[in-house]
Chains A and B, each alone.
Chain A
Amino acid sequence: MVREELQATAGLAHLDLSEDEAAAALPAFELMLEYFAAMKAADEDEGAFGVPVLDLPPTTQAFSAGNRLRFDATANNSNNTNSNPLYNLANELLNRSPESENRFVVIPNVL
């Protein structure tokens, strides 16, 4: 079961795992999943949490300090462009693409 799950997971993650690589990764993958599975004990471990862990809401962020919104302005219009390190980098970014042409990023697509 786990072997197929590993390959299916590798497909979702776009990791090009060869048969050998998959076989090599499998023991560590299984061992960690086994370790993760031990979390099930927490469901009924009121000693550890004071309450059943299933009654606790999930935490996705440790703290929340209220709403954070950005003012709708373009970096180019900002009066203090130096304060925004992302300002005016388009050409620099394009230069970092492994392949580009006429300002487009190029990728292969053999039909």
Chain B
Amino acid sequence: MSRTVLQDGFSAYLDAWEARIGSFLEKDAETIAGSAVLGADREPGYASDSTKGVLRGLPFGVKDNIAVKDMRLSCGSRLLDGFRSPYSATAVARLAAVGAMPAGKTNMDEFGMGSSTDNSAFMRTNNPWDVERVAGGSSGGSAAAVAAGLVPFALGSDTGGSVRQPANFCGVVGLKPTYGAVSRFGLVAYASSLETIGVLADSVARARTVFAAMRGADPLDQTSFDAPADAPSLLPLGGKPAEPRAIGVLSPSAVAKALASTLSGQAGPAGNGGPDEAAREASAAAMLEPEVALGFEAAKEGLRALGHRLVDVELPSLKYGVPAYYTIATAEASANLARFDGIRYGNRPAYAENPDGLIDGARGSGFGDEVKLRILLGTFVLRSGFQDRYYLRAQRIRTGIRLDFNRVLAGVDAVLMPVFPTRAFGRGERGLSPFAQKAADLFTCCANLAGLPALAFPTGVEGGLPVGVQLVGKAFGEGLLLDVAEGYEAAHPIARPAGYRAFWG
């Protein structure tokens, strides 16, 4: 399907966009241009047959923390610069089996730790709508590549919002599936119990097709599942209107207010920046930018107009979500990233006297500052004597958040909320502090804590930048979320950045 619509100008188009946005760390331009000979012999590693299958001939971008045999697998880290994967992720293999072709590795925040992709050790990725702004993160390269029309879809990973937030910043569809719905085999682990491989796509229908091809239990990932038989169908709407649903609306201002009241007055351990510095910054970071609030209200109107019933819901546990999320995520990360020691693969220092020197040197020079900070935090919260106060308490809060979602989702089909308090932010003075970026994960990270599916989709453009919303659904309820969003997209076609050309059918 792709070849017939490809035009001669594609290579120039690709190069021009890449020079501006820098979404790929490595790309196979031939595959992307579709000029490669289609056939099984091209990619022996995938047993692919790109002449058949629902995604036949379509190239896709792969976030650089997802393994594609013989392609780089750097995770945006210096420590893994030059490392090539000896195997492919299950999700990649399944897409190849239905004809899609991995076309390159996209830029990302190192090991998925960041909200801007500026934490990549290699290069910046710029937002296709405004190259002075970030593409979001950590799957920023995937989001930018799809938004600019360089690939029809790309894989990302979502640990606390890393698919949905960059999708939202770049104006594309971002699906974070139910935990375990897609095998994590081949996804370099950041926070194992929270993350999933997700899809960034140029349309809801495409996200649906890709997800349907990837999902399902995998013997190589014992935390993966098949969807239960009664899960909502993934069949395309095919132009029919989506069935009207009951959609719970979480009031963003109520959440911000709750944050301000609860988190203030909690004295910190050191009080370095004043006892309430963290709380103050966190509640400030949760306030919606006016354009985002505007977009949210417009989306509500749009959904109502499509016949959905909107009801107000509250998730009072949400205010604890971000600290619980970062406690768990960093704890798991501290163990997951321990394997990077420069011994069996990756880069090691030119000289070391002994194993400790080698390991310390490899990690000291291989990891960036944000990764080191999170490893330190995660190591700290797991130390004996501190576990109860941090890690264990966070896991109890996680239970509370799960139950809170279960309660709300017993009464509605999905919960509507913002994706991120701001649109794509700028850099330096015009940006967000590293702490504010973390605190702003409050709308995304809770779906990861609860393991629920969440779909971010663009709803419009405010002030020259895309805005959107997300729907959080019941476990394995991706089909329902996709139906609602596809209906919305039919009524409100997705806006594209200036210079965008549609090459993909």
Contacts and interface: CB of A to CB of B under 8 A. Distances in A.
Interface in B414-456: 434-435, 438-439, 449-452
Contacts of A41: 262-263, 266, 320
Contacts of A16: 360-361, 363-365
Interface string B351-395: 111111111110111010100110111011101000001101111
Interface string A22-54: 001101111111111111111101011110011
Interface residues of B, number: 101
Q: Which of B278, B369, B398, B434 has most chain A Cβ within 10 Å?
A: B278
B379 to A, nearest CB: 4
A40 B322 CA distance: 13
B40 interface: no
Contacts of A12: 379, 383
Interface in B451-466: 451-452
Contact of A14 (B178, B281, B341): B341
Given A28-B435, A49-B400, A109-B355, A68 B222 contact: yes
Looking at chain B's contact residues, is the secondary structure mostly helix, strand, loop, or mixed? helix
B86 A96 contact: yes
B238 interface: no
Nearest to A67: B222
Contact of A58 (B88, B219, B395): B395
Interface stretch (B5-13, B117-125, B268-276): B268-276
Contact of B379 (A9, A49, A89): A9
B326 A30 contact: no
B320 A42 contact: yes
Contact of A98 (B346, B390, B394, B439): B346
A56 B225 CA distance: 25
A96 B348 CA distance: 12
Contact of B262 (A36, A45, A93): A45
B69 interface: yes
Contact of B324 (A21, A39, A89, A99): A39
Contacts of A34: 268-273, 275, 277-278
Contacts of B389: 37, 40
B225 A98 contact: no
Q: Which of B225, B361, B376, B439 has most chain A Cβ within 10 Å?
A: B376
Nearest to B378: A13
A13 B381 CA distance: 12
Contacts of B99: none
Contacts of A17: 364, 372
A37 B269 contact: yes
A60 interface: yes
Given A32-B435, A108-B353, A63 B475 contact: yes
Contact of A42 (B69, B88, B369, B400): B400
Contacts of B400: 42, 48-50, 53, 56
Contacts of A31: 268, 272-273, 277-278, 281, 435
B124 to A, nearest CB: 21
Interface in B171-197: 178-180, 193
A109 B354 CA distance: 4
A76 interface: no
Contacts of B402: 59, 62
A60 B93 contact: no
Nearest to B395: A58
A98 B376 contact: no
B342 interface: yes
B473 to A, nearest CB: 14
A15 B376 contact: yes
Contact of A25 (B178, B271, B369, B399): B369
Interface in A54-103: 54, 56-63, 65, 68, 70, 82, 84-86, 89, 92-93, 96-99
B100 interface: no
A1 B271 CA distance: 12
B87 A85 contact: yes
B344 A105 contact: yes
B327 interface: yes
B229 to A, nearest CB: 13
B397 interface: yes
21 contacts: A14-B359, A15-B372, A27-B273, A30-B270, A31-B435, A33-B269, A34-B275, A35-B278, A35-B322, A36-B377, A36-B394, A49-B316, A56-B397, A61-B193, A63-B180, A85-B87, A85-B220, A86-B87, A96-B86, A98-B342, A107-B355
Given A56-B399, A97-B344, 5 more contacts: A33-B268, A33-B270, A35-B268, A59-B396, A62-B451
Closest 6 CB pairs of A and B: A62-B451, A34-B268, A16-B364, A58-B395, A68-B222, A49-B400
